Amino acid sequence: MRPALLLGLLGLLTRPLGSAETLIRNGTVLTISHGTLEHTDILVKDGRIVALGAGLKAGPQATVLDATGRYVMPGIIDAHSHLAVEGGVNEMSLPVTSMAAIGTVLNPEDKAIYWDLAGGVTTANVLHGSANPIGGLNAVIKLRWGKDAEALRFQGAPPGIKFALGENPKHANFSPGRYPATRMGVMDVIRQAFVEARAYRAAWDAYRSAGGKGVAPARDLRLEPLVEILEGRRLVHAHCYRSDEIVQLLRLAEEFGFRIATLQHVLEGYKVAPEIKAHGAGASTFSDWWGYKEEAFDAIPHNAALMARAGIVVTLNSDDAEQARHLNQEAAKAVRFGGVTENEALAMITLNAAKQLGIADRVGSLDVGKDADLVLYDHPPLSVYAVAQQVLIDGEVYFDRARDLAGRATVEQERQELLARQKTRAAGPRDSRPAKPGEGNGAEFPTDEEDGDAVD
């Protein structure tokens, strides 16, 4: 019920808490980068971690969080998300849509932002869909619930783009008649696009070499992001499943002199791990999703661990707002299947994801100088009993479980008042005036489904 209840949540439950200085006291700190520290304090100033140790002091105006008996870890980074996208994640009308940008349709009122935040997620790589061999531009965001769309953006994160191989772009997500319709056509589309991008760059280089004399080449917003890829200024995140297609894409990238940053899903990555490692790509996979279509039949739960053992930077992602709420448990499966250490598993949803997105200097581990994006759990994070109690972004508390629980009574009271008001209007005397659009039948108080939030 967006008109009233969402505003109630914004105003009563989720306004960020904190001050310029925050002291988190006496927690079990899982740094990810340099081990686990018992009975340790974390001092935060102006959104950054400035000290870790025992007995740290803070100023009289500091916010103090008691972490006794709690486990403090870096905020979870979801390396493959479609969170907060308004109006459709696929621009599927063309095989190459590199001129489209997810950042233009970010919806800061998507309630899943708050739900994922409550699951410990602080950063997400929001990607275009997989209907195109070359899709739209990505947006790396921080889950600053209650802020506007521009404030969601992770400033300084390297730009990226979505590629896709296999069944999805081949079937064109149910767009009949659109090329390509085969796997070989998918590769042709990608190759031809880079042939054009290389020629486009050469034309601009020639124009600049001539001192800007003559007629400048016409700008092509479809090709400019591809030139950025050729020049190493834009990361490629490639949806893929089959081992043969993975190798084909790696070889194509090497032919044009660029690198694939991450192979997304990559369910058959274990078959070609040496090739992935040699190329230098990261792998962002599922813990145990498979069998939902033909190219997902050869997946195994050991995939993440096997690729990690081969020296690949591996992450576990959600691809789903609900899945993102328990990525800590998804990481635990890598311990069960493959025998990675607990720290290695947690790195798959924190530091490794930061490395893949080019933001490891800012987030992904608890180190002095990094952004104070962190989660306080009541149990060890890989436990099925672990529940996030507080989640901080840039040192501000964006989720507090105790505050959330306490505020639910107020929200429920508001809900009941709205329903009573609706019932009173429905039972009142008929109005002879013509009904306005949306009046009657409770249309002024839409359900989640009527509000456009139903699951596709």
pLDDT digits (tens, 9 = 90+) for 342-368: 999 999 999 999 999 999 999 999 999
| Total count of domains within the chain | 1
127-150: average pLDDT: 97
| Residue 153 belongs to a domain | yes
| Residue 132 belongs to a domain | yes
| Residue 334 belongs to a domain | yes
| Residue 373 belongs to a domain | no
395-417: average pLDDT: 94
| Residue 438 belongs to a domain | no
Q: Which residue has the higher pLDDT, 429 or 140?
A: 140
- Cis peptide, bond prior to residue 180, ω within 30 of zero: yes
pLDDT at 223 (0 to 100): 98
Say whether pLDDT at 449 is over 60.
no
pLDDT at 175 (0 to 100): 64
Say whether pLDDT at 334 is over 50.
yes
Which CATH number characterizes residue 283's domain?
Answer: 3.20.20.140
**Sequence-separated contacts (24+) of 174-178 with Cβ below 8 Å:** 175/92, 175/93, 175/131, 178/92, 178/93, 178/94, 178/95
Say whether pLDDT at 444 is over 70.
no
pLDDT at 16 (0 to 100): 62
262-275: average pLDDT: 98
Task: Point out the least confidently predicted range of 65-79, 150-164, 167-181.
Answer: 167-181
Task: Point out the least confidently predicted range of 16-30, 50-64, 383-397.
Answer: 16-30
pLDDT at 433 (0 to 100): 53
In whole angstroms, give the CA distance from residue 236 to residue 252.
Answer: 13
pLDDT at 426 (0 to 100): 87
pLDDT at 428 (0 to 100): 73
Say whether pLDDT at 382 is over 50.
yes
Domain extent at residue 152: 76-363
For CA atoms 454, 11, 107, 159, the dihedral sign is negative
In whole angstroms, give the CA distance from residue 138 to residue 433.
Answer: 49
| Residue 454 belongs to a domain | no
Say whether pLDDT at 270 is over 70.
yes
Name the pLDDT band for 18 (thresholds 50, 70, 90): low
Q: How far is CA 263 from CA 61, 258, 267, 356, 437, in A?
A: 46, 14, 10, 10, 48
| Residue 8 belongs to a domain | no
| Residue 35 belongs to a domain | no
